[in-house]
Amino acid sequence: MPPLEPTDPRRLGVYHLTERLGEGGQGVVYLGRTDGGPQVAVKLFHAQPPDDPDDMFGREMEAAKQVARFCTAQVLDSGTIGSRRYIVSEYIDGPPLSRVVAEDGPRRGSALDRLAIATATALVALHDAGVVHRDFKPQNVLLGADGPRVIDFGISRALTGAQTMVSRAVGTPAYMAPEQLQPGELGPAADVFAWASTMVFAATGRPPFGNESIPIVFNRIAHEPPRLGTVEEPLRSLLTACFAKDPASRPSAHEILDRLVRPTGSTPRPPALAPPDATTTPHGPPPGKRRRPLIAAGAAAAIATAAIVLVVARLASGDSPDKTASVVTPSPSATAAAPRPSESTPRRTATPTRSTRSQAPSPSATPSPSQKPKPKLIRTVLGPGHFSAYCVKLGWEWVEYRETPTPGAYCVKNKGATMRLTQPQLDAGCRWRFTDPRARHYFKGKSNYCYTTKPAQTS
């Protein structure tokens, strides 16, 4: 990293500046730290702030501090030196996505999947905190040692205020949404469009509307479909939805994350072990076995018809009614005990003087159609739980596995508050993520995983 230049400040507030991390259109980023504290990134803006009677900068920075810190570089502090603003954020030791793609080529396979999920999770955290990024692009995604992190959120609105569209467009036009080409307030849908553009760049090495002159790019954004190149399904369909020209037609960040972690048509991997609660069975027979009661009813009708024909035949041959008294029409409850056609069955009962009613099989020995044997259930793994998104849904910020005070998964807040997830809550999280009423949670090491139970296939 380059050293400080003679004109660079050596201190901003309580932060000692030691090196330059980079310089862009908005300002210079320095590596800093407090006395005995961790390293931080300090961004000092070039331009003087516009008239800000409502302290928009301060309000935006306060909102940014509330963003969950997973998948983002947490905003820690902000201030002013003379007429210039600065913000302090968590230091992420990693290159931007733009440089990685330029040097190593487009992302593929699981690397692209992880990037999409991590950055979509960051959007969920931003939008849940009421923050719109407004400048989502490959330069603002850092690939740290612990995964992708989104930076510089909320800065555009804090600095520009009521700036015109033209001045706001300069810098990253290739990642702007159509509504940014018109004056007016921007909503979360603009971030969704920019996120999709960033993912196309990551997958192909080019932005979806090109990187030619600004008028050409703006015309493509407003009127032409995106160029998705070799992006494969199911990500391709999701990105296409995010590129809708109408902001109201785009999916939300929550919907994007849901489709990424639960793609349509995915086939869960069958496990070898039975679930701990394999005795739990669903209500009613499984769909594949609904025809069995109809088959049993048909068999009962056939047996009843045969019995009547047998009685009539005996009467015609001269047998007395006493000898036919033991031949009765079997009830549906007795059909399960009826012999198969291959078995030999005597035409007369062994003891005609006894009442057949006394020889009827007991309910415990012969199940009725309403008491069918419970199907055997097998365990089917659904996949990783990704419980940070569930913790966000519960009003927390991320999930961690902790050994103390009790080993388990904890929802955590930035200020240090924690909530240990009970087993019912973990199961509910799996049901929420996979939309499966029988989904359950289990730990794979210290990671959260989900499984479900399904009836075993019978031949």
Taking Cα atoms as reference points, which of 103, 90, 96, 86 lies closest to residue 119? 96
Catalytic residues: 135
Angle at 194 between CA 193 and CA 197, to 5 degrees: 90
Instruction: With CA atoms as reference, report the closest residue to 96 among 114, 69, 115.
Output: 115
The whole-angstrom separation of Cα 221 and Cα 217 is: 6
| Per-residue pLDDT tens digits of the chain, which is 459 residues long | 678 888 888 988 889 999 998 887 778 899 998 887 889 989 888 766 555 545 556 666 665 666 666 678 878 888 888 878 888 888 888 999 999 999 999 999 999 999 999 999 999 888 888 888 888 999 999 998 888 998 876 555 544 443 333 334 434 789 999 998 887 778 899 999 999 999 999 999 999 999 889 999 999 999 999 999 999 999 999 999 999 999 999 999 999 999 999 866 444 444 443 444 433 333 444 444 444 444 444 444 444 444 443 333 443 344 443 433 333 444 444 344 444 434 444 444 444 444 444 444 444 445 555 556 667 888 899 988 888 888 887 878 788 888 888 889 988 876 678 888 988 889 888 888 888 888 999 998 888 999 999 888 765
| H-helix or E-strand spanning residue 18 | strand 15-23
Report in angstroms the alpha-carbon separations of 308 from 104, 214, 324, 434.
84, 91, 11, 55
Residues found in the chain: 459
